[in-house]
Amino acid sequence: MKNWLFAILLALPAAALAQNVEIRDIEEGDGDEVVRHDTVTVHYTGWVYEDGEDQGEPFDSSRDRGQPFTLTLGAGEVIPGWEKGLEGMREGGKREIIIPPELGYGSRGAGDVIPPNATLRFEVEILEVERAPFGGLNNNELAGMLERDDVTVVDIRRPDEWAETGVVEGSLRMTAFDERGQFIPQFGQAFTDAVDPDDTVVLICRTGSRTGVLARALADGLGYEDVYNVTDGIKHWLEEDRVVQHDCPDTEETAVC
């Protein structure tokens, strides 16, 4: 088992609420729509924004450098305001995104470039959209998967989380991250011992963020070809009053419920 392939899991997305991001489409694209976990290549220009006006020259511009920027949405590679602002754009589209401080660089700012508590304005163009190498499931699609007998569902949360919310019936419970959010190296070997690369596997966590990163590692690094991520996690499953099983022991880190 090549544990180093899971090193990318140590960089996990920060949780944030992004309702206050303001977006305005400058030009509608006609290509693929950007969804979480896609890899996108963009051109952008950013300004500090105050009282409805840009404050001076741009603080950063990929166009000026002549170097497009590539990121994976949902992998925590950019500020939370970008994560929200890019969703729903299409390849070829251009969008204005205004990001409040709490979804940008906050009270600390960024060096001498971005002052504390700065609102930011970006103009972003989507040059290319590369689909994630795994599938995403909504609740109805997950329910369909559960009706099949050739699907392995792996819940990667902690025992205390399983005990609190219950789990999807038939889940293989296998903890991937500790209470500090750090990846557990032993998970890699345990997973490959339990799930073959040609199996159909569905990953579920609380909100779908960590399983998205894990699904990419399995597909890109370990050759798993039929991997699915429950996009909104068990949280949304519970919000729709879907069935879970509560009589699972909460003291084991790897077990089937």
Active site residue 193: no
Active site residue 241: no
Catalytic residue among 105, 177, 191, 228: 105
Q: Are the C-beta atoms of 244 and 230 separated by less than 8 Å?
A: no
Catalytic residue among 44, 49, 183, 228: 44
Catalytic residue among 6, 38, 49, 59: 59
Active site residue 6: no
Question: Parallel, antiparallel, or unpaired for β 151-155 and 135-137?
Answer: unpaired
Task: Determine the Cα–Cα distance for residues 46 and 24; give it in Å rounded to an integer.
Answer: 15
Catalytic residue among 79, 97, 99, 126: 79
CB neighbour class for 256 (10 Å; exposed up to 12, middle 13-18, buried from 19): middle
Task: Determine the Cα–Cα distance for residues 243 and 171; give it in Å rounded to an integer.
Answer: 13
Active site residue 191: no
Catalytic residue among 60, 199, 220, 226: 60
Task: Determine the Cα–Cα distance for residues 112 and 110; give it in Å rounded to an integer.
Answer: 6
Task: Determine the Cα–Cα distance for residues 169 and 18; give it in Å rounded to an integer.
Answer: 32
Coil/strand/helix, residue 234: helix
Q: Are the C-beta atoms of 130 and 112 separated by less than 8 Å?
A: no
Active site residue 79: yes
Active site residue 44: yes
Among all residues, which ones are annotated catalytic? 44, 59-60, 79, 105, 122
